[in-house]
A and B are shown apart, each in its own frame.
Chain A
Amino acid sequence: LAKTTQPISMDSYEGQEVNITCSHNNIATNDYITWYQQFPSQGPRFIIQGYKTKVTNEVASLFIPADRKSSTLSLPRVSLSDTAVYYCLVGTDQGGKLIFGQGTELSVKP
Chain B
Amino acid sequence: DTGVSQDPRHKITKRGQNVTFRCDPISEHNRLYWYRQTLGQGPEFLTYFQNEAQLEKSRLLSDRFSAERPKGSFSTLEIQRTEQGDSAMYLCASSFEGFREKLFFGSGTQLSVL
Q: How far is the CB of A44 from chain B (nearest CB, A)?
A: 5
Residues on the A chain within 8 Å of B95, using CB: 95
Residues on the A chain within 8 Å of B106, using CB: 43
Check A57 for interface membership: any CB of B closer than 8 A. no
Q: How far is the CB of B114 from chain A (nearest CB, A)?
A: 20
A46 touches B103 (CB 8 A): yes
Contact with B along A21-53 (1 / 0, CB 8 A): 000000000001010100001111110010100
Contact with B along A95-106 (1 / 0, CB 8 A): 111111111000
**Cα distance A56–B33 in the bound complex, in angstroms:** 27
The interface-forming segment of B41-49, B68-76, B79-87 is B41-49
B42 touches A102 (CB 8 A): yes
Interface size on A, residues (CB 8 A): 25
**Cα distance A59–B10 in the bound complex, in angstroms:** 31
**B42 partner, pick from A94, A97, A100, beta carbons under 8 A:** A100
* B91-114, CB < 8 A from A: 91-93, 95, 97-108, 110
A87 touches B42 (CB 8 A): yes
B107 touches A96 (CB 8 A): no
Q: How far is the CB of B85 from chain A (nearest CB, A)?
A: 19
B56 touches A43 (CB 8 A): no
Check A93 for interface membership: any CB of B closer than 8 A. yes
